[in-house]
Amino acid sequence: MWYSPRSMHIPDGFLSILVAVLFWILSTLIVSLAIRQVSQERDERKLPVMGVLAAAIFAGQMLNFAVAGGTSGHLLGATLATIIVGPWAAILVMTCVVAIQALIFQDGGLLAMGANIFNMAVIGVSVSFLVYSILLKISKGNRWGYYAGAVIGAWSAIEAAALAAGLQLALSGTSPANIAIPAMAGIHALIGLGEALITLGAITFIMSTRPDLLTSSSQAVRGRSSLWIVGLALAVILAFLSPLASTHPDGLERVAEQQGFIKLAQPSVFQLIPDYIVPGINNTTLATIIAGLVGILILIGVSLILYHLRHKTHK
């Protein structure tokens, strides 16, 4: 049976205007700092790699996987991005993914996008970087440190992002803190296991084929044409697999249904490719695959445009 991805991020209506604006401000400040940090790096070739990484994460997030209790989860990808391109670039990668999902596919509200960016890009990457760095230091560069850092970092990133979302719901008065935060933490503890396994698989593949990618994020994109090709191929494959996504509600949606605030969700003020299904195509499977390919092309296109603009500026 072929299905289609479900919306995965906080919609408008779940957060109060005050909370939504607050997290827009916080996210804008941090993303602006990330842009400044990445722009100061000398290696221009990181931008295309960031684009391919964003495309692969975007496609991977479309493929929801089932977990216990009739709930689904999806890849976050923050840990993988952090390991490959470093924390500042990873924040920009995740921000681009969240922005494209909200603006093109109506996944997550426009007012809530600041909170979604904060949870997935800022919290997800920061926790990933902290855990991964600590375990690498403890392992003194031994191989087990990379694996442990990837697994624990990935699980921790999911859990931290879920806790942040629960806190935002509580601050908004949508659900009491003693209900929203434990509920989000409990469901996402299971989803985090899926994230950890996916990240472990990716790191194991990289370790066996291109271990130099893991040695230094500042040098992680030098001579990486193979990474470009593999990343793009993986993104396309995941787009073709996206109709197989689980139809079960994701962690946030499950909590919203159980706690009775799902009715607060507000539809987007405009519709482009809602629910990852291209309008006008009767075959849902084909419409979903094309939607995935559109997202991939947009993210790759944006990165290439930025690369050429920066290359031209630095001539």
Mean pLDDT across 133-151: 92
The separation between CA 174 and the C-alpha centre of its own chain, rounded to angstroms, equals 24
Q: What pLDDT does residue 7 have?
A: 55
> Which pLDDT band, with edges at 50, 70 and 90, does 3 fall under?
very low
| Cα 106 to Cα 276: distance, rounded to the nearest angstrom | 8
Closest to 152 measured CA to CA, from 172, 135, 171: 135
Q: How far is CA 69 from CA 59, 72, 108, 191, in A?
A: 25, 9, 23, 11
Q: What pLDDT does residue 1 have?
A: 39
Domain boundaries, the chain: 17-313
CB 71 within 8 A of CB 240: no
pLDDT surpasses 90 at 92: yes
pLDDT surpasses 80 at 62: yes
pLDDT surpasses 70 at 235: yes
Instruction: Give me the CATH topology for the region 17-313.
Output: Arp2/3 complex 21 kDa subunit ARPC3 (1.10.1760)
Q: Which residue has the higher pLDDT, 304 or 264?
A: 264
> Which pLDDT band, with edges at 50, 70 and 90, does 311 fall under?
low
| Neighbouring residues of 101: CB distance < 8 A, sequence distance ≥ 6 | 8, 9, 58, 61, 107, 108, 295
Q: Which residue has the higher pLDDT, 261 or 74?
A: 261
Q: What pLDDT does residue 298 have?
A: 95
The strand pairing partners of 72, in sequence order, are: 66, 250
Q: What pTM did the predictor assign? A: 0.92
| Cα 204 to Cα 176: distance, rounded to the nearest angstrom | 41
Q: How far is CA 241 from CA 154, 217, 293, in A?
A: 22, 30, 11
> Which pLDDT band, with edges at 50, 70 and 90, does 49 fall under?
confident
